[in-house]
Amino acid sequence: MARVLLALLLCCSVFVVGSLADRALVESLCKESQHGDLCLSSLLADRRSTLCGDKACVASVFLDISQKNVSATINYVNGLIGKRPPEVDKLQYCVTLYSNALDDVKEAIHQMNAKAYWDAENSMTDAARYPPDCEDSAPNLLSQQNKMLDDLFDISWELLDNLVPLPPV
């Protein structure tokens, strides 16, 4: 009985120490971000991030968070289309832009999984151009959503940038 309790205690302490170390990784990466609070709150809201043992895993989780947010934004705007007839054209245009951004985020995830970090970073750069385009075409209509996506894409890019090897000096 004592051995079982000791084994359980050891197992739990390894998990807690590992989780604290992984949380420290998340905190250190987010501390480097220009959107540190959003980075940290987004990652800590997703339990997978505290199970990550390296920067690539954290970046992968954040790309998934970005993808889910773009999808949710598309669904939100599609819901507005029937409720705001005067702005239908602008809203539909933004859905098209967000769909393009979603494709770029999915491509970044694919490239990330292939360890093509520089290409993934470029895909996030491509995705980041769409929220400002939506804002330009529909000022103040979706400003909150555009700002959120823009910030999430910035963080995704920053996390990917941590994975891109520096050129030899």
Q: Is residue 123 part of a domain?
A: yes
118: CATH: 1.20.140.40
Q: With respect to residue 81, please indicate whether it lies within any of the assigned structural domains.
A: yes
Residue 102 in contact with residue 70, Cβ under 8 Å?
Answer: yes
For the chain, give the mean pLDDT. 89
Q: Is 168 among the domain residues?
A: no
22: amino acid identity, one letter: D
Confirm if 161 and 128 have CB atoms less than 8 A apart: no
Give me 92's structure tokens: 């539909």
CA 130, chain centre distance (Å): 16
Q: Over 60: is that where the pLDDT of 124 sits?
A: yes
Looking at residue 61, what is its pLDDT? Answer: 98
What pLDDT is recorded for position 99?
Answer: 98
In a domain, 134, yes or no: yes
Residue 167 lies in a domain: no
Answer yes or no: is 151 within a domain: yes
Nearest to 56 by CA among 111, 7, 105: 111
- Say if residues 43 and 24 touch (Cβ distance below 8 Å): no
* Confidence at residue 13, expressed as pLDDT on a 0 to 100 scale: 36
Radius of gyration of the chain (CA): 19
pLDDT at 163 over 60: yes
The C-alpha atoms of residue 102 and residue 95 are separated, in whole angstroms, by 10
Amino acid at site 146: N
Residue for token pair 């555009």 = 146
How far is residue 139 from each of residues 30, 87, 166, measured CA to CA in Å? 30, 11, 39
Q: The domain containing residue 113 runs over which residues?
A: 2-161
Q: What is the per-residue burial (b if ≥16 Cβ within 10 Å, else e) of 85-109? A: eebeebbebbbebbebbbebbebbb
- pTM, two decimals, is 0.86
pLDDT at 169 over 80: no
Q: How many domains does the chain fold into?
A: 1
Residue 43 covered by a domain: yes
At 69-121, the pLDDT tens digits run 999 999 999 999 989 999 999 999 999 999 999 999 999 999 999 999 999 99
Asked if residue 18 lies in contact with residue 50, where contact means CB atoms within 8 angstroms, the answer is no
